[in-house]
């Protein structure tokens, strides 16, 4: 007896639609490794239709006053709260995330972030008008960019979707959003909710569109002539391809491309607190977080003690099914990711030591044990490249200078943290660390009011905050003669 797979559909111009050519791809639940749904494998015709809908809706949406855009976003936030359990169920089926943690750690921030950008819609500020040349007054207009093509990742399908559509809509842009091919379910549900609010308020149907598909679908979106901006959260390789493609017609590009966060632990830290917080920040969401505390640098005087304590804490962390209230994290997202994480451990050099973990858990789904690896050198593969799994590496350093050198000695530059009771040292490190965020005696908290985004190969542009809002606007200088 076979179970009929649920059919997910694109959302284009206010209507749910199959791919024009009828092609689909199976969507797999990472807890079981079995398919539970099909989603459109969208081609050129589907991308064309979504872009046409967004382009047609843009003039009217651009001219909606900020207070009305705020109203839309506030109603979307309310609707997300009202339908939270549906969103949680869809996200958990997408990703295998624990239901309880999705309820407490994702829904409230998402709703708060939408409400923040609802307020930002009414804060389109520019420099004050003035006479910078005799007889002429200059002022600044902040305007929406146009149609935004947005590609969300599979590690946080809902939340990253919010980070993309909320500032874009708040600024007066229209959106075509593509979820990952492995996690479309919650995005399709968000489209249903957002589309309902747009209809209730009488706004154009094409303001928000969702196109499901694979990398080729995303490539077609990036190459399409309509979007004025492309935003992607993904791998460095994907970001490079997007930037290269977008350069051909000078699209604006917004890239968040992963990280390799250094966690610098000095000898005067509160070790018990550091171990507890770092293990949680490293293994939360199975380490599938661009800011995860995955690369720990510990002063040599406390290295051995710290490694033992971290390994003990990791061994006590549990992974398992979404309805198990005792688990910190669920499975890796897909079979390819399981293979990638396993490969890093399989290829460890002889001088490395697996302190705990290092193996798959169970015989179905994509679960991986919390893993701590010590004895590593700065040029080791697992230090230089993003694992994106429940693996924390530990290195030893001798002094502040070496700690900074090790921390900065990777191609990523998204997030970092410093653990010390010495305020002056913390300030020196916060200046020296070349990362978009530096936490002090904590790791991973984010707030809507502060920017998230990195340097180097972690990309450019900011999510969240007024800076993230500004990225979805363009600046126009207007000058008028005072002579009439």
Per-residue pLDDT of the chain (484 residues; tens, 9 = 90+): 457 899 999 999 999 999 999 999 999 999 999 999 999 999 999 999 999 999 999 999 999 999 999 999 999 999 999 999 999 999 999 999 999 999 999 999 999 999 999 999 998 877 789 999 999 999 999 999 999 999 999 999 999 999 999 999 999 999 999 999 999 999 999 999 999 999 999 999 999 999 999 999 999 999 999 999 999 999 999 999 999 999 999 999 999 999 999 999 999 999 999 999 999 999 999 999 999 999 999 999 999 999 999 999 999 999 999 999 999 999 999 999 999 999 999 999 999 999 999 999 999 999 999 999 999 999 999 999 999 999 999 999 999 999 999 999 999 999 999 999 999 999 999 999 999 999 999 999 999 999 999 999 999 999 999 999 999 999 999 999 998 7
For residues 210 and 177, what is the distance between their CA atoms, to the nearest angstrom?
Answer: 5
Contact 389, 374 (CB under 8 A): no
Residue pair 446/464 in contact (Cβ under 8 Å)? The answer is: yes
Q: Which of 91, 93, 148, 290 is catalytic?
A: 290
As a whole number of angstroms, the distance between CA 93 and CA 157 comes to 11
Buried b (16+ CB within 10 A) or exposed e, 87-98: bbbbbbbbbbbb
290 catalytic? Reply is: yes
Q: Which of 256, 355, 386, 437 is catalytic?
A: 256
Helices (H), 399-457: 400-408, 423-432
Classify domain 262-447 at the CATH superfamily level: Aldehyde Dehydrogenase; Chain A, domain 2 (3.40.309.10)
> CA dist 385 to 257, 370, 412, Å?
12, 18, 9
Other beta carbons within 10 Å of 441: 15
Going edge to edge, which strands form the sheet with 208-210? Answer: 15-17, 10-12, 208-210, 174-178, 147-151, 229-233, 252-256, 459-460
**What CATH number labels 6-257+458-477?**
3.40.605.10
- The residue ranges of every structural domain in the chain are 6-257+458-477, 262-447
- Whose tokens are 């991973």? That residue is 444
**How many C-alpha atoms does 10 have within 13 Å on its Cβ side?**
33
- Residues 17 and 24: their CA atoms lie apart, in Å, by 12
55 belongs to the catalytic site:
no
């Amino acid at each position: 007896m076979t179970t009929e797979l649920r059919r997910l559909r694109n959302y284009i111009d206010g209507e749910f639609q199959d791919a024009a050519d009828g092609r689909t791809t199976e969507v797999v639940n990472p807890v079981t490794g079995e398919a539970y749904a099909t989603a459109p494998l969208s081609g050129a015709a589907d991308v064309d239709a979504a872009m046409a809908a967004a382009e047609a809706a843009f003039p009217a949406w651009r001219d909606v006053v900020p207070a009305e855009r705020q109203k839309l976003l506030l109603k979307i936030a309310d609707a997300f709260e009202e339908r939270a359990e549906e969103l949680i169920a869809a996200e958990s089926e997408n990703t295998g995330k624990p239901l309880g943690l999705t309820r407490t750690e994702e829904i409230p921030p998402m709703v708060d972030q939408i409400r923040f950008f609802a307020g930002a819609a009414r804060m389109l500020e520019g420099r004050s008008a003035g006479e910078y040349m005799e007889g002429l007054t200059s002022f600044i207009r902040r305007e929406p960019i146009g149609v935004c093509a947005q590609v969300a990742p599979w590690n946080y399908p809902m939340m990253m979707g919010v980070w993309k559509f909320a500032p874009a809509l708040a600024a007066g842009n229209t959106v075509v959003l593509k979820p990952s091919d492995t996690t479309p379910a919650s995005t399709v549900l968000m489209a249903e909710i957002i589309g309902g609010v747009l209809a209730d308020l009488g706004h154009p149907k094409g303001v928000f569109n969702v196109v499901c598909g694979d990398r080729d679908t995303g490539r077609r979106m990036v190459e399409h002539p309509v979007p004025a901006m492309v935003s992607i959260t993904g791998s460095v390789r994907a970001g490079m391809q997007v930037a290269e493609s977008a350069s051909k017609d000078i699209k604006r590009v917004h890239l968040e491309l992963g990280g390799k966060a250094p966690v610098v632990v000095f000898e005067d830290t509160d070790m018990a607190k550091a171990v507890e917080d770092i293990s949680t920040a490293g293994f939360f969401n199975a380490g599938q977080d661009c800011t995860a505390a995955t690369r720990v640098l510990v002063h040599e005087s406390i290295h051995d003690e710290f490694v033992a304590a971290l390994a003990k804490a990791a061994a006590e962390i549990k992974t398992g099914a979404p309805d198990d209230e005792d688990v910190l994290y669920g499975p890796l997202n897909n079979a390819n990711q399981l293979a990638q994480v396993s490969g890093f451990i399989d290829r460890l050099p002889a001088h490395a030591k697996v302190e705990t973990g290092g193996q798959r858990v169970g015989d179905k789904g994509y679960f991986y044990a919390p893993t701590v690896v010590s004895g590593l050198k700065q040029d080791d593969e697992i230090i230089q490249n993003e694992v994106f799994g429940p693996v924390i590496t530990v290195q030893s350093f001798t002094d502040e200078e070496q700690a900074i050198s090790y921390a900065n000695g990777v191609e990523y530059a998204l997030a970092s943290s410093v653990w010390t009771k010495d305020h002056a040292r913390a300030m020196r490190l916060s200046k020296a660390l070349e990362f978009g965020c530096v936490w002090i005696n904590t790791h991973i908290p984010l707030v809507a009011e502060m920017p998230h985004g990195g340097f180097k190969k972690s990309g450019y542009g900011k999510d969240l905050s007024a800076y993230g809002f500004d990225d979805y606007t363009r600046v126009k200088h207007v000058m008028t003669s005072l002579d009439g």
